[in-house]
Structure 1
Amino acid sequence: MSELQRFNSEDGQSGATYKAQIEAHIRRLLLRGDMQVGQIYSANSMAKELHVSNSPVREAMMSLVERHLLELVRNRGFRVVELDSTDVWEIYQLRRLVEVEAVRVVAASRLDSVQVKRLEELAARTDELSKAVTRDDMFDYLEADHHFHLYLVSLTGNRRWVEAVERLRDQSRVNGLYLNLLDCGKVADTAGEHLEIVDAVVTRDVQRAMELMVAHLEYARTVTGEKVEDGAYRRPSV
């Protein structure tokens, strides 16, 4: 079944479920870079493309505005958020603050066997996908990477922490920026880093786990093709 065919009928689905499916579809387009920066997209035209009613599409796109992946252009539609160097720095800075602290908390805790197994499985999955990844299935690798990071943070037991990391990670990947991991040959490296992080967490080596996460997040400051230096980009105070 194609992605579009999944939306051909609303029968048997709650409005919330239907809207969530459409939102996930548009998110996929955004993170794959299939929606062009600067172009205006209307809910009406998107609904026609998906063969669905306008209302759930608009609701989904408004939700993505709230997640800072789209911008509302009054009386015209929605525009893809474009990241500049300041955006990259701000997102990287926040991710480093929250994800390094999360791995510290998790590594200092005592995970049970079920948690350890699941964490190892998710890391192994990214490693498996990295060995033969192509541009066509790069999004699948990035989603496996996403699931690994979110599960790791979920082990803090704090759902708001998970939600914050989920949003920051999506914001850093809008415009399909992370697809160039493949071009620069770093896919296998990032997957290997997952395995090292898991080892440090499971053995409760807190300092090593934190250092590995800091190094792992380094790519987040180079996604636009230039390395964003600490404090180099600051928005004017208001």
Structure 2
Amino acid sequence: MTIRQPLETVSLVDAAVNRLRNDLLTGGYAAGQELSDTQVAEEFGIARPTARMVVQQLINEGMLVRPPGYSARVRCFEPAEVSDLYRVRRLVELDAVRAIKASTLPLVGVEATLANFESLSPNANWHEVAEADVAFHCSVVEAAGSPRLSEFFASLTGELRLMIAILRKHYSSANALYVEHLELYTLLRDAPLRDVEAKWTRHLEDARKFLEASLAT
């Protein structure tokens, strides 16, 4: 008999964080909506101290904010914040692209995330789509071989996931977003640097403009 790998144990806090994160990414809570520790405790059937840990984790990820003296709220974005985040994305991701093209760094991790992206069903939950999108871009930064750059980019992923949730209206399906990332990968693997930089910049700029327009209305 084949011995299977042990099942991964997920703590109550992790399980609640995953559920609440999914709810945030699928529009279960409106931008700016209050989300108190007591409310989370009641909705998830957990103790209030546990709920506070859950809320704090999502504050750390940038999905919630807790103004001094107030309960946590779902993160809202202003157009200027989108512009700033995408400015940072361009700096980090284009630096990673240049490092990859200037060397023979392997793209195994990028290929793995792309395969996962492709495996999503046409009716995939947009939370899964957001995860696949972020995983692809993280894998590109990781392929550049700089642990500090990867760690910094990872600190942005909570905000990125929320923004990708807004981008849902911009794409007809999960497959449409996958095809766009497949093109990015193919260029990264085969095309001259200038072509990769141009396409990558357009990809980020299109998303930024759509997000800013969506938030301005």
The normalised TM-score by structure 2 is 0.79
2:105 aligns with 111
Measured at CA, do residues 209 and 138 of structure 1 come closer, stay the same or move farther in structure 2, by a change above 3 Å?
A: same
Q: Structure 1: where are the runs of 5+ without partners? A: 1-11, 229-238
Q: Name the residue aligned to 1:3.
A: none
> Any idea what the Cα deviations from partners look like across 1:56-96, whole Å, max 9, x if unmatched?
32123223223332121444421111111111111111111
Distance 1:181 1:110, change over 3 A: same
Alignment-derived partner of residue 179 in structure 1? 168
Shift of 1:148: 1.3
Q: Which residue, out of 179, 185, 196, partners 1:198?
A: 185
Amino acid in the other structure paired with 2:17? E
How many correspondences in the alignment? 207
Letter in 2 for 1:150: C
- Tell me whether 1:65 sits opposite 2:59 in the alignment: yes
Letter in 1 for 2:142: S
User: Structure 2: how far apart are the matches of 1:54 and 1:101?
Assistant: 43
Q: Distance in 2 between matches of 1:152 and 1:180?
A: 25
Structure 2 equivalent of residue 81 of structure 1? 75
* CA distance in 1 between partners of 2:99 and 2:205 (Å): 20
The residue number in structure 2 matching 1:236 is none
Give RMSD over aligned pairs.
Answer: 2.9
Is the 8 Å Cα contact of residues 105 and 156 (structure 1) preserved in structure 2? yes
With over 3 angstroms needed to count, the CA separation of the structure-2 counterparts of 1:161 and 1:42, relative to structure 1, is same
Q: Residue 155 in 1 paired to residue 146 in 2?
A: no
Q: Secondary structure of 1:157's match? A: coil
Q: Please say if residues 22 and 56 of structure 1, whose CA atoms lie closer than 8 Å, have aligned partners that are also in contact.
A: no
Separation of aligned partners in 1, 2:22 and 2:178? 21
Q: CA deviation at 1:13?
A: 6.0
The aligned counterpart of 2:134 is 146
- Name the amino acid aligned to 1:137: N
Say if 2:65 and 2:74, in contact at 8 Å, map to a contact too: yes
Instruction: Give the match for residue 204 of structure 2.
Output: 217
Task: Determine if the alignment matches structure 1 residue 30 to structure 2 residue 18.
Answer: no
TM-score computed with the length of structure 1 as normaliser: 0.73
CA contact (8 A) 1:69 1:174 kept: yes
Rounded Cα–Cα distance in structure 2 between residues aligned with 1:210 and 1:18: 43
Q: Per-residue deviation at 1:214? A: 0.9
Shift of 1:46: 0.6
1:123 corresponds to = 114
**Change in 2 beyond 3 A, CA 1:63/1:145:** same
Counterpart of 2:25, as a letter, is: L
- Aligned partners of 2:93 and 2:140 also within 8 Å: no
Task: Check conservation: 1:31, 1:170, Cα contact below 8 A.
Answer: no
Do the aligned partners of 2:130 and 2:161 also contact (CA within 8 Å) in 1?
A: no
Q: Is the 8 A contact 2:82 2:212 kept in 1?
A: no
Moved more, 74-83 or 203-212: 203-212
SS of 1:111's equivalent in the other structure is coil
